[in-house]
Structure 1
Amino acid sequence: MSLLQSALHEKHFVCVMEFVPKPSAERFAAMEAIMARAHLCGWPMTVAIGDRVGSPLDLSPLDALSSFSSPVPALPHFSGKDRERHHLLAQLQRMDAAGLDQLLLLTGDRLPGHQPGERPVRYLESVAALQIARQACPHWLLGAALNPFKYREEEGGAQYFKAEKKLAAGADFLTLQLGFDASKHQEAMQWMSRQAAPKPMLACLMSLTHGRATMLEHVAGVTVSPSMRDMLEAEAAVSKAYAQARSVDRLALQIIGVKLMGYAGVHLSGIHELKQLLALEQRLEHWQARIHALEQWAPAWAESWQMPGLPAVTFHPPQAAWRQGESQVSATRRETLRYHLLHAFHALLFSRTHWLSKAFGWAVRRPLWNTPRGARWLHGLERCVKRPLLGCDTCGRCRLEDTLYVCPETCPKGLANGPCGGTALNRCEFGDRECIHSVKYRTAKAVRQTAVLSERLIPCIDVETRHRSSWPQWFDASAPRRFSSQPVPRNQPESSPPAVHRQ
């Protein structure tokens, strides 16, 4: 059992140190020095190795792991950006050969250079990746991400619905996206406690300075409010040393806070040198001696965000402050009418039970369409009908019934199961549209189909099925459509799966 598996199993608070692999001997040496400590305030440490964080040309997690001069306990990542099923299966096989059996699966942020309307970039989204990995490696420790730092109902509600899918697909733990809003940390923990089988969660944290806040403005899905920036700027105006000391103090307080909330551990970002870790440890020891309950922690946390002459910091953007449980939005008349019209059309033509559906199914399964020319004609016909109406890209296996007739291909990442973590106030990470999953959320709420958003796990579209008609396959389907992948061969006999305790 790995260090992380053991910590989660025994309910020991754990520190996961983020490492972005770059071809730099100094970076590797610095992380080795950090990991040589083995513990932070007595909490065991492991290293998380990022995947395609900056560029697809970065070192892969497995190449990075082999570049350390001595073995380190590691949680490799897998990012789905510009990836297909076979890429994931290849990584699973390499990991198995190396004796690794834990993985954090992420859809991934926007691939550099990906522009909507140009060459499509496919993203293997985390729900489908979890399905593939869980079937191939049934006893591995698998993690996924959740971003609770959302301040509009549609994007926040859709995040939690997708997180339910991730748990159903096989996630053993969730790692939160980077955030500083303690009320959202508590909100996520309360949500998890209501699940049928709660899983451990890790909070992603970073010491925040004015310079880092400026950098985070370009990181999708991370919220730094104007009042936070004003306070950080006031700190920096005193001195760089003062601002740095305050940021480390806040990080120590935040770690203590999430531990008291019930988080299983922290995913620490932005610690690149041993001296940074030692400074953090010093402040952790200071606060641990003084704070033993959330009631003691809350005023200290609030005070750490105060500066003379400035108003109290708010962690939400000025435009919105949604909290889970609040329900105010509703679909427009156009969105509702669109759903009902498309649902009625689908029932007529694709139900497989109506006489018109049976006739259409008979027609599209004629031998003519199996010929190369016939297949091209049928594909062209489907595309001509569906693209103007739905934005269809003829993926070869239509998922509209499972997505409330909002085509996943209209998402720049092609996500079918729910949103990525990169939205901001319902806007897509690409900035040129509203997130389609916000539209889905409003529609589902209006037509009382929200269960679709949390219960229907939609498999990935394999590259070989794309750009052909989905109609013959639809009518040939006599059993539920499921993903398939072959189990990864094991070098040694399987051991029993780890028992992850509930939080």
Structure 2
Amino acid sequence: MLREALREQRFICVVEFVPGLSGERGAVFESMMQRAQLGHWPMVAAVADRVSSSQDLSPLAAYSRLTHSLPTLLHFSGKDRGRHDLLRQLEQMDAAGLDQLLLLSGDRLPGHEPGQPVRYLESVPALQIVRQARPSWLLGAALNPFKYHEEEGGAQYFKAEKKLAAGADFLTLQLGFDAQKHREARQWMQRRAVPVPLLACVMPLTFKTATLLEQVPGVVISPSMRDLLAAEEAVSRAHARERSLFRLGLQIIGLRLMGYAGIHLSGIHTPAQLQALEQMIHAQQEGIQTLAQWSAAWEPSWQVSGLPTVTFHPAYADWHMGESGVRATVREQYRYHVLSAVHTLLFSRRNPISRGFGWLCRRPVWRIPRGARWLHQLERCLKGPAVGCYTCGSCRLEDTLYVCPETCPKGLANGPCGGTRLNRCEFGDRECIHSVKYRTATTTGQTHVLTERLIPCVEADTRHQSSWPRWFTPAVEGKHHGRRVPDDAIKKTK
């Protein structure tokens, strides 16, 4: 149903179910989905993955407990997972007759602290893996446009370009309430040579919900939003719930008028809530036929007498697409140019020094255990202080502007997750490395590196060994980011 609706450009409602540890709410969710439609819009189930913890009931296990077959979009979260986990899920989905998948890197794994060896299978290589293994499947990925510094906002769109190149058939926006950012994402998609459908994640927002969402990475609840929600809650909880449903219905109507292909509905848990939302949409639709009429209703819905006008952006930060003014620092530029020169000298394979270094790295001595350990220690001692190298065994510095992806707590190489706040990493202890990459790319004219080069995941068996022998392994010409790659790397992508 989802595939058909997207192809036929019919607005669709994807309803999210979070199984939790036991999936005890599955029966209620199933009864809600038996309605089949929200108004006259078809509904599709979406089963979330590892939202609370890695111990949550898996999407496939939750789906198997349903007593009736439902059109379903499963999620796959890359938290603490690798290629083999994804391929195993594909086989299980084949057995269940499912062929629709939303691929996400995932929020921070509970209990994961910086420095711990937890890695995330990020969405770009996950899309490549699935697209190659199941060419006909319907695949989606996420985009978070609710960013208010240029670096984090621009990096989001750079990574979205990669997701589409890797095989995403549609994108789902992460949760947000800023209509200007919804328009921005839609305009970005319309400017692409081959646009794909966009869905938008929505949910009812009360003061209690907002308090919880403030702890969710990447979700923006501004102080003025919080003040308005608190004022509504002070009237009564019933009043606050009614206002939240009113704005949710209004937001859905607006997204449809903006040209979104559908919504990804969260926070609606019972048939009664769904029916109340449907009634709210019906009551509003008759008087709202254009975006101008919608704006005239949307803005007052965020106003309360005695409070200032609500703004959806954080204080002192309100970047919009098209605005560009950031530059890499002198140190960041110097670092890039020096490391680029060193890379060309030693690893380009085009000059005598590089060819000589390659000959040295291919000597049989490095294949014996003691030699391999010594070379590994040498590479880590040299590159660790310079770039924070963890010797992943498959160096990607050329593709990341010499900012080591292993210094991201999630190990993301292709771009940021959605969890940054004003350039700060989701873990809160550093600036997002992808913001640094964005500044470096825009200043040095290398933005194509961050939009065009799809970086494969690091295989577990390559970690903690030197990358140098692999780099100089006899290579074949292939379509792999336009670069020469080792034979064994090409075999792993087949």
Q: Output the TM-score relative to the length of structure 1.
A: 0.95
Name the SS for the 2:25 alignment partner.
helix
- Alpha carbons of structure 1 residues 155 and 486: separation in structure 2 relative to 1, 3 Å: closer
Q: What residue in structure 1 maps to residue 226 of structure 2?
A: 229
- Alpha carbons of structure 1 residues 104 and 11: separation in structure 2 relative to 1, 3 Å: same
Q: What displacement does 1:22 show?
A: 2.7
Letter in 1 for 2:250: L
Letter in 1 for 2:85: H
Q: What displacement does 1:30 show?
A: 1.0
What is the distance in 1 between the residues matched to 2:384 and 2:65? 47
Q: What displacement does 1:360 show?
A: 0.7
What is the distance in 2 between the residues matched to 1:354 and 1:44? 61
Letter in 1 for 2:445: R
Q: 2:398 aligns with which of 382, 385, 401?
A: 401
Letter in 2 for 1:299: A
Q: 1:88 aligns with which of 80, 86, 89?
A: 86
- Alpha carbons of structure 1 residues 485 and 254: separation in structure 2 relative to 1, 3 Å: farther
Name the SS for the 2:15 alignment partner.
strand
Unaligned runs of 5+ in 2: 477-483
Q: 2:235 aligns with which of 220, 238, 256?
A: 238
Letter in 2 for 1:67: R
Q: 1:467 aligns with which of 458, 464, 467?
A: 464
What is the distance in 2 between the residues matched to 1:155 and 1:359? 40
Q: What residue in structure 2 maps to residue 52 of structure 1?
A: 50
Q: 2:414 aligns with which of 395, 400, 417?
A: 417
Is 1:197 the counterpart of 2:194? The answer is yes
Q: What displacement does 1:98 show?
A: 1.3
Letter in 1 for 2:43: M
Is 1:17 the counterpart of 2:19? The answer is no
Report if aligned partners of 2:22, 2:57 keep a CA contact under 8 Å in 1: no
Report if aligned partners of 1:459, 1:483 keep a CA contact under 8 Å in 2: no
Is 1:140 the counterpart of 2:137? The answer is yes
Q: What displacement does 1:9 show?
A: 1.1
Report if aligned partners of 1:150, 1:156 keep a CA contact under 8 Å in 2: yes
Name the SS for the 1:331 alignment partner.
coil
Is 1:441 the counterpart of 2:438? The answer is yes
What is the distance in 2 between the residues matched to 1:381 and 1:25? 50
- Alpha carbons of structure 1 residues 65 and 484: separation in structure 2 relative to 1, 3 Å: farther
Letter in 2 for 1:137: R
Q: 1:304-324: per-residue Cα shift (whole Å, max 9, x none)?
A: 000000111000001200001
Q: What residue in structure 2 maps to residue 497 of structure 1?
A: none
Q: What residue in structure 2 maps to residue 255 of structure 1?
A: 252
Q: What residue in structure 2 maps to residue 382 of structure 1?
A: 379
Report if aligned partners of 1:259, 1:265 keep a CA contact under 8 Å in 2: yes
Q: What residue in structure 1 maps to residue 360 of structure 2?
A: 363
Q: What displacement does 1:353 show?
A: 1.1
Is 1:334 the counterpart of 2:331? The answer is yes
Q: 1:272-309: per-residue Cα shift (whole Å, max 9, x none)?
A: 11111011000100111110010100010001000000
Q: What displacement does 1:26 show?
A: 4.8
Q: What residue in structure 1 maps to residue 480 of structure 2?
A: none
What is the distance in 2 between the residues matched to 1:400 and 1:25? 42
- Percentage identity across paired residues of the two chains: 67
Structure 1 window deviating more from structure 2 (247-256 vs 233-242): it is: 233-242
Q: 2:30 aligns with which of 20, 32, 36?
A: 32
Q: 1:91-114: per-residue Cα shift (whole Å, max 9, x none)?
A: 011101211111000000000110
What is the distance in 1 between the residues matched to 2:410 and 2:232? 39
What is the distance in 2 between the residues matched to 1:304 and 1:159? 29
Q: 2:41 aligns with which of 40, 43, 48?
A: 43
Report if aligned partners of 1:136, 1:486 keep a CA contact under 8 Å in 2: no
Q: What residue in structure 2 maps to residue 103 of structure 1?
A: 101
Name the SS for the 2:243 alignment partner.
helix
Q: What displacement does 1:68 show?
A: 1.1
Q: 2:112 aligns with which of 107, 114, 120?
A: 114
Report if aligned partners of 1:18, 1:269 keep a CA contact under 8 Å in 2: yes
Letter in 1 for 2:19: P
Report if aligned partners of 1:395, 1:466 keep a CA contact under 8 Å in 2: yes
What is the distance in 2 between the residues matched to 1:247 and 1:43? 21
What is the distance in 1 between the residues matched to 2:233 and 2:296? 23
Name the SS for the 1:476 alignment partner.
coil
Report if aligned partners of 1:83, 1:124 keep a CA contact under 8 Å in 2: yes
Letter in 2 for 1:315: F
What is the distance in 1 between the residues matched to 2:20 and 2:310? 36
Report if aligned partners of 1:132, 1:485 keep a CA contact under 8 Å in 2: no
Name the SS for the 1:143 alignment partner.
strand
RMSD of Structure 2 on Structure 1 (CA): 1.1
What is the distance in 2 between the residues matched to 1:441 and 1:328? 12
Name the SS for the 1:78 alignment partner.
strand
What is the distance in 2 between the residues matched to 1:289 and 1:33? 29
Q: What residue in structure 2 maps to residue 150 of structure 1?
A: 147
Letter in 2 for 1:423: T
Letter in 1 for 2:97: G
What is the distance in 2 between the residues matched to 1:401 and 1:121? 23
Q: What displacement does 1:483 show?
A: 5.8
Q: What residue in structure 2 maps to residue 500 of structure 1?
A: none
Report if aligned partners of 1:132, 1:483 keep a CA contact under 8 Å in 2: no
Report if aligned partners of 2:103, 2:127 keep a CA contact under 8 Å in 1: yes
Unaligned runs of 5+ in 1: 488-503
Structure 1 window deviating more from structure 2 (69-78 vs 419-428): it is: 69-78
Letter in 1 for 2:6: L
What is the distance in 1 between the residues matched to 2:126 and 2:274? 33
